[in-house]
């Protein structure tokens, strides 16, 4: 992100690149990207491409980014620990209450085993895995065009209280409070965590690096059921003023073909074209199908100041969450109100 921004500022940006989808609005707004609406609409399978990618790829009704790679957020659980705790190892939790109950049972195993893990000081990790809990319960964090922060909702307060309760009762390791993301994947991989929100990327990484770990993959649930996911990944964008549109079109045609999608899938990305998704994933770990389904129902928040609001290690999003997750019940209200005000003020200053 910063590298591309610096290259673009220096006039040496590449003709095209894949960019974390979340930054497409901010780059499009700054006038660095080529309008590729016509190219996009000319693709015969345009309406099969990931909606979430396109929603952030669109700025003021013009398309600047097309889906390239995809990663969705899911919930993973340790089957071995579930079995030891007397739980059904093949049934993942489907509501917050079930997560809580399962985590308690696993935590009771003791011996360094904890029920639940999340990276409590990592903005990026939590937008990826915590917001879906709110979405699945009917809340949201921004309005559709990102001009208003809608942080202060009952759903947000409930979700924060849900995490806070697990922290208070010792179901979460103490390191979570200061984990800025370095343990996001590693904690669950140790095999001493019962349940953890994670991403599709973890399936490939776990299979490869920790082949002995038995784990299940399920959707991130809402309070009373339902599910949601953060649709992440990269958008394909073109630097403004390029003269290589022919080559770019040829590249996209290949990337979206069954062959291209299969190749991407084998390299750890979910397919971004719905009508060939199943075929592209054929022969791969079946848990990818769950992640792909999560992707299809996933959402991506839209903001031109996403970096400032969410990803910054000192931004309002993670400041609010960290304060509320690890505070007491009375701290939730003020933290959420403060987060709402701080986010709105950043949005207003930028606009």
- 12 touches another protein (CB under 8 A): no
Among residues 227 and 311, whose Cβ is nearest to another protein?
Answer: 311
Q: Are 99 and 116 in contact (CB under 8 A)?
A: yes
Question: Could you tell me which stretch among 1-9, 54-62, 89-97, 127-135 binds another protein (CB under 8 A)?
Answer: 1-9
Among residues 44 and 112, whose Cβ is nearest to another protein?
Answer: 112
**Interface residue with another protein, options 98, 242, 323, 341 (CB under 8 A):** 323
Site size toward another protein (CB under 8 A) is 29
- 331 touches another protein (CB under 8 A): no
Q: 3-state SS string over the chain?
A: CHHHHHHHHCCCCCCEEEEEHHHHHHHHHCCCECCCHHHHHHCCCHHHECHHHHHHHEECCEECEEEEEEEEEEEEEEHHHHHHCCCCCCCCCCCHHHHHHHHHHHHCCCCCCEEECCCCCCHHHHHHHCHHHHHCCCCCCECCCCCCECCCCHHHHHHHHHHHHHHHCCCCCHHHHHCCCCCCCHHHHCCCEEEEEEECHHHHHHHHHCCCCCEEEECEEECCEEEECEEEEEEEEEECCCCCHHHHHHHHHHHHCHHHHHHHHHCCCECCEHHHHHHHHCCCCCHHHHHHHHHHCCECCCCCCHHHHHHCCCCHHHHHHHHHHCCCHHHHHHHHHHHHHHHHHHHHHHC
- 319 touches another protein (CB under 8 A): yes
Among residues 235 and 322, whose Cβ is nearest to another protein?
Answer: 322
Instruction: Report 293-312 residues binding another protein (CB under 8 A).
Output: 305, 307-308, 311-312
- 8 touches another protein (CB under 8 A): yes
- 175 touches another protein (CB under 8 A): yes
What's the burial of 38, exposed, middle or buried (CB within 10 Å: 0-12/13-18/19+)? exposed
- 109 touches another protein (CB under 8 A): no
- 42 touches another protein (CB under 8 A): no
Site string for another protein, 259-278 (x = CB under 8 A): --------------------
Question: Could you tell me which stretch among 177-185, 205-213, 219-227, 241-249 binds another protein (CB under 8 A)?
Answer: 177-185
Site string for another protein, 65-104 (x = CB under 8 A): ----------------------------------------
**Interface residue with another protein, options 322, 325, 336, 347 (CB under 8 A):** 322
Among residues 175 and 226, whose Cβ is nearest to another protein?
Answer: 175
CB of 176 to another protein, least distance (A): 9
- 30 touches another protein (CB under 8 A): yes
Among residues 168 and 323, whose Cβ is nearest to another protein?
Answer: 323
Interface with another protein by CB under 8 A: which residues?
A: 2, 5-6, 8-9, 26-27, 30-32, 121, 173-175, 177-178, 180, 305, 307-308, 311-315, 319, 322-323, 326
């Amino acid at each position: 992100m910063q590298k591309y921004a610096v290259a673009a500022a220096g006039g040496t940006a590449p003709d095209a690149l894949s960019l974390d989808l979340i930054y497409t609005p901010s780059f499009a707004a700054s006038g660095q990207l080529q309008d590729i609406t016509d190219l996009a609409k000319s693709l015969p399978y345009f309406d099969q491409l990931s909606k979430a990618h396109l929603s952030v790829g669109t700025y003021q009704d013009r398309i600047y980014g097309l889906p390239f790679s995809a990663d969705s957020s899911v919930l993973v659980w340790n089957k071995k620990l579930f079995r030891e705790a007397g739980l059904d190892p093949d049934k993942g939790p489907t509501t917050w209450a079930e997560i809580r109950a399962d985590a308690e049972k696993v935590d009771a195993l003791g011996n360094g085993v904890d029920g639940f893990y999340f990276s409590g000081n990592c903005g990026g990790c939590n937008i990826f895995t915590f917001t879906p809990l709110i979405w699945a319960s009917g809340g949201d964090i921004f309005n559709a065009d990102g001009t208003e922060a809608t942080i202060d909702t009952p759903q947000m307060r409930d979700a924060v209280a849900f995490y806070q309760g697990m922290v208070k009762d010792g179901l979460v390791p103490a390191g979570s409070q200061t984990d800025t993301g370095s343990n996001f994947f590693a904690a669950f991989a140790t095999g001493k965590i019962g349940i953890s929100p994670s991403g599709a990327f973890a399936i490939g990484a776990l299979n490869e690096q920790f082949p002995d770990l038995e784990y299940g993959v399920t959707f991130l649930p809402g309070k009373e059921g339902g599910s949601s996911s953060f649709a992440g990944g990269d958008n394909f964008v073109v630097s403004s003023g390029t003269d290589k549109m022919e080559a770019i079109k040829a590249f996209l045609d290949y990337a979206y073909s069954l062959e291209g999608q299969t190749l991407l899938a084998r390299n750890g990305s979910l397919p971004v074209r719905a009508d060939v998704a199943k075929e592209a994933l054929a022969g791969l770990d079946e848990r990818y199908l769950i992640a792909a389904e999560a992707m299809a129902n996933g959402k991506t928040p839209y903001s031109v100041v996403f970096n400032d609001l969410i990803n910054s290690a000192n931004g309002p999003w993670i400041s609010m969450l960290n304060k509320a997750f690890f505070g007491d019940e009375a701290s939730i209200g003020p933290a959420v109100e403060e987060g709402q005000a701080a986010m709105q003020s950043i949005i207003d200053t930028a606009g």
